[in-house]
Amino acid sequence: MRLWRVVLLLNLAVAVGVLVGWLAWGRQIPRLERRLLESQQRVLIVGGEQTWIVKGVVRAVIPEIQVVVLTHDEIPGFMPSGMTMGFKVQTPNVLELARVGDVVRFTLKGVPPDVQITALVKEGQS
């Protein structure tokens, strides 16, 4: 095969590859830009103390380190829903109110990521 044919075929292959790549991924750019904008809007201003009242289910109580493990709803601007996290409690009295399997409403206060549960109210059993 002559050299010019090889060069022509390689250029054609590169052009087709770029076209297929753009068709497959180039169309995703507007969707990715929207998701980036949404995530930037959820970012908290660092340094300000926040307070959230959130609903969750108690998964474990660890009194030795004063931690309650909860599967919680969304904590706006901090964490998405459905996460299971351990949170420190402000006072040991809060631990006495938590039982595994309880559906609770708890108050979370602090400067992310250093937050603590300040109050906990039982709403039912899961």
Residue 13 above 70 pLDDT?
yes
Predicted local distance difference test score (pLDDT) of residue 29 = 82
pTM of the complete model: 0.61
| Percentage of the residues of the chain whose pLDDT score is greater than 90 | 48
**Contact assessment for residue 71 and residue 56, using Cβ atoms and an 8 Å cutoff:** yes
Residues whose CB is less than 8 angstroms from the CB of residue 95 and which lie 6 or more positions away in sequence, other chains included: 61, 63, 66, 68, 89
Query: What is the per-residue pLDDT across 34-76, written as a single tens digit (0 to 9) for each?
Result: 888 887 766 555 557 889 999 999 999 999 999 999 999 998 8
- Determine the average pLDDT of the residues in 12-40: 84
How high is the mean pLDDT of the chain?
A: 87
Residues whose CB is less than 8 angstroms from the CB of residue 123 and which lie 6 or more positions away in sequence, other chains included: 55, 102, 103, 104, 105
Query: 13-17, 38-42, 82-86, 91-95: which has the minimum mean pLDDT?
Result: 38-42
Does residue 113 have a cis bond before it (omega within 30 degrees)?
yes
Q: Give the Cα separation of 9 and 95 in Å (integer).
A: 72
